[in-house]
Structure 1
């Protein structure tokens, strides 16, 4: 047989063999449509933009630290956090929670903005803090992988700069075609500022649009398309308007309504509003907004846009004129991002996963990862207090909806007399399951009625022991579990519930303990409920626990 014929014969045998292999039933084709919400987690005040073929999404975090998470996606539907633009809240001592509440609860990072600047390969973040001045952080040296139009940062080195004296309240950054940087901001009057060439100071600012008397506008974002400038602004908490200028970034601008009190896609949730526009590499545009979906917080939804002949964006609705519960996928890609669910054994060598945020800036001397080999997070007592809200180094993670379960595994063998540690369902009205160490006894308890006073955010109640479980030894690990239903109940009197349970047999059997927590549906605290782990002393410092793992599952 000739060599070429022999090659064809071998290839034919190979293809026959491959075609006869059993098919993997777990392999499913890529989805052709998506459901809203695209991310059932509390990521409010979003600013979304694209760099090459990668989408990025910046969000508010208030007093949680690190702040301003930046998420990425390859398809506008599946998202994962990859960094925090503000590694440390360098806004003043209250962000360290030095002497109890109110600390900085509900203060800090509100609607901020982020963009990538190709001319110097930097990401920029701007945020007005405490209605005072605007803080600036940049990330360079990101080792961005550039291929086929994609800029996908491999690492992040965020650097703080001197604040800008103007408060760019609810701001949106635009880097124009000539590389000039503009930032839009304000409430109720909308202003545009031109920044210096390095983006670190202000050149000029002026009012470009004033709403009708009695109308509030905020949440501004700025874009350019086909030579026209666009500003998106929200009327909280039910509408979004588009301002358009063909004369330049400083206007004049005219206005049209994008959405107003639009129905869907979830029951017992607010209207979709306060978002941003983004285009795909193939030129299609999408509007990404959030819905008030308490008790879980504010969650993102996506819808396609179409453009009128005279250059105005319009939302694509379903057949009933509502925000669609599903739409065709924005684009198809083989790239994926990891889900927020699953097991975390704290084996990171470079720090915590970007799913985690502390209740305020942590005391860095009181926590440590034990290494990629062993795994685990050591939490030493960082505060002596009887008030969990006043305790530093409470580590939080967003709850996935509509129903999920968070399970912490703790080694409590090094707790000391007076220490309290465990898993808390954290918000301004909270409850927890944990261990109270009293003398030589370590007893499992459920504590409820932990409350902050709305408005002042001072502690109103430090909690009551609602149920007592068994005494645990100094040698056994304890598993604490919180089951949470954050199905939206915004605007209703329905209190969704979270329940608490424990395991002392290796995580095999869980025992329900104590009453359910009836969650608050109020918006005034802004952030939704979070799973969290804590350890504080009531008598002295020196004790510690080791968090061996956390697992979040959908239920």
Structure 2
């Protein structure tokens, strides 16, 4: 995936993060010489992104497993912090499987024989509130299992992992579930979640994070029996590095048999970026991740000379914060229909994408063809937001720059509205610390408008770089978004 951040250093090594964007709670598998990754998408539509890589370092978006969120009616408006939480991606019996949770409805499964193709409609396999972060395991004896965590915000408790015996097609559980790891019984453990289940050399392994999103750590747990008891050990933590909360991800093996671990780091407005660590095994059979349990900033590539990447159609990275109306143009469209809305945090039709790197410039042109009161522009959107664009007045359009602070505060002008004629070019420049500067060119050259704005995250997601059009009628036309890297500081 090209963009402002390139992880491959060109000398047989890579730098972390390998994905400097909000690909939260990553899980990955290898099939042949190809690696595939999915991530949490929360209330973004489409959901469950699928990325492909030939070497675990360079990734490209190849599709989404969810065209729309279900239940359909529950997601007609933005439900921040809801939707798709940490999924598990597996390849079994010739098919790809994603098991994912919606903490308000239960655990779903969807499958496909081609990760870049069509996925089955999601099937609810374990209904209930508070069930999160599921992962299946097909054992050598033909039995199937599913482990999951719990969200205290939905069910009143957490810090434990529950397992079910499942039908082989994961269509339904065969029992009511058994707690196989009680985090309260592990010294210092809190918020145990995100389990990933594996089997290796006669051991059952559960890799599970704890400690919370921002400052957590990673456990590996092993047992000779599928349902435990499991012995835990911390295998990755921040230590004396600058990588806060390195945890929750995937163990994968290369065709050469080497082990690697993908995990996230929470960077506030940038979201949860993805790191890659080498993984070896000590004399007692425990995994050793990174630099003796702390993250590495740079390392040799897992696959030094990968096969050429598969050719995939270019997949737009645009998403919306809710299920779009049937009449809404596709994400690749450059015309946005004006829809009613005032606060962009509650607006279901923001066409958004993840911040694509630590330092970048995004540029477009907008033309607004709509009656008075309509607005269209480019925004950086989270708990707070700011935007630059056009507002239609009875005597013609005006260039405006507005900001809305947290707590539901209404938008306010941060510059004097400026009468303009015709289309206007807009730009947002983001620099270290997710500081955004907004500029416009009305035909006389670029001019910065208003003070810098420090982006803030949304609920469980990073800030969104977005385009929008609001109003009772009409539309806005945007030029394709041009994103360029800025020199690193």
TM-score range, shorter chain: 0.7 to 0.9
Instruction: Give, in whole Å, the separation in 2 of the partners of 1:192 and 1:486.
Output: 43
Q: Which residues of structure 2 form unaligned runs of 5+?
A: 1-7, 150-157
1:281 pairs, out of 250, 255, 260, with: 255
Corresponding residue of 1:553: 484
Residue 177 of structure 1: how far off its partner (Å): 4.0
1:528 pairs, out of 462, 470, 474, with: 462
Corresponding residue of 2:105: 132
Residues 62-87 of structure 1 show CA distances to partners (whole Å, capped at 9, x for unaligned) of 11111121211111111122111221
Corresponding residue of 1:113: 88
Determine if contact 2:106/2:124 at 8 Å carries over to the other structure: no
Determine if contact 1:208/1:250 at 8 Å carries over to the other structure: yes
Aligned positions of 1:138-287 closer than 5 A: 138-140=111-113, 142=114, 153=115, 155-165=117-127, 168-177=131-140, 180-186=143-149, 187-204=158-175, 205-213=177-185, 215-216=189-190, 217-237=192-212, 238-247=216-225, 249-264=226-241, 267=242, 270-287=244-261
Secondary structure of 2:75's partner?
A: helix
TM-score, structure 2 as length reference: 0.88
Q: Does 1:53 align with 2:53?
A: no
Aligned positions of 1:465-480 closer than 5 A: 465-468=413-416, 470-473=418-421, 476-480=422-426
Determine if contact 1:436/1:442 at 8 Å carries over to the other structure: yes
Instruction: Give, in whole Å, the separation in 1 of the partners of 2:139 and 2:43.
Output: 32
Instruction: Give, in whole Å, the separation in 2 of the partners of 1:377 and 1:241.
Output: 45
Q: Does 1:73 align with 2:53?
A: yes
Q: Does 1:484 align with 2:455?
A: no
> CA 1:546 to 1:281, structure 2 compared with 1: closer, same or farther past 3 Å?
same
Instruction: Give, in whole Å, the separation in 1 of the partners of 2:208 and 2:333.
Output: 44
> CA 1:251 to 1:332, structure 2 compared with 1: closer, same or farther past 3 Å?
same
> CA 1:191 to 1:157, structure 2 compared with 1: closer, same or farther past 3 Å?
closer
Residues 396-441 of structure 1 show CA distances to partners (whole Å, capped at 9, x for unaligned) of 11112221111122232x2222111100001111100011011241
Corresponding residue of 1:32: 12
Corresponding residue of 1:391: 347
> CA 1:168 to 1:114, structure 2 compared with 1: closer, same or farther past 3 Å?
farther
Residues 173-225 of structure 1 show CA distances to partners (whole Å, capped at 9, x for unaligned) of 33334554322212412122222122211123322121244732111111111
Secondary structure of 2:234's partner?
A: strand
Residues 429-462 of structure 1 show CA distances to partners (whole Å, capped at 9, x for unaligned) of 11000110112411110001243x4xxxxxx123
Q: Does 1:406 align with 2:367?
A: no
Instruction: Give, in whole Å, the separation in 2 of the partners of 1:29 and 1:324.
Output: 15
Residue 34 of structure 1: how far off its partner (Å): 0.6
TM-score, structure 1 as length reference: 0.78
Determine if contact 1:63/1:105 at 8 Å carries over to the other structure: yes
Secondary structure of 1:64's partner?
A: coil
Instruction: Give, in whole Å, the separation in 2 of the partners of 1:376 and 1:176.
Output: 45
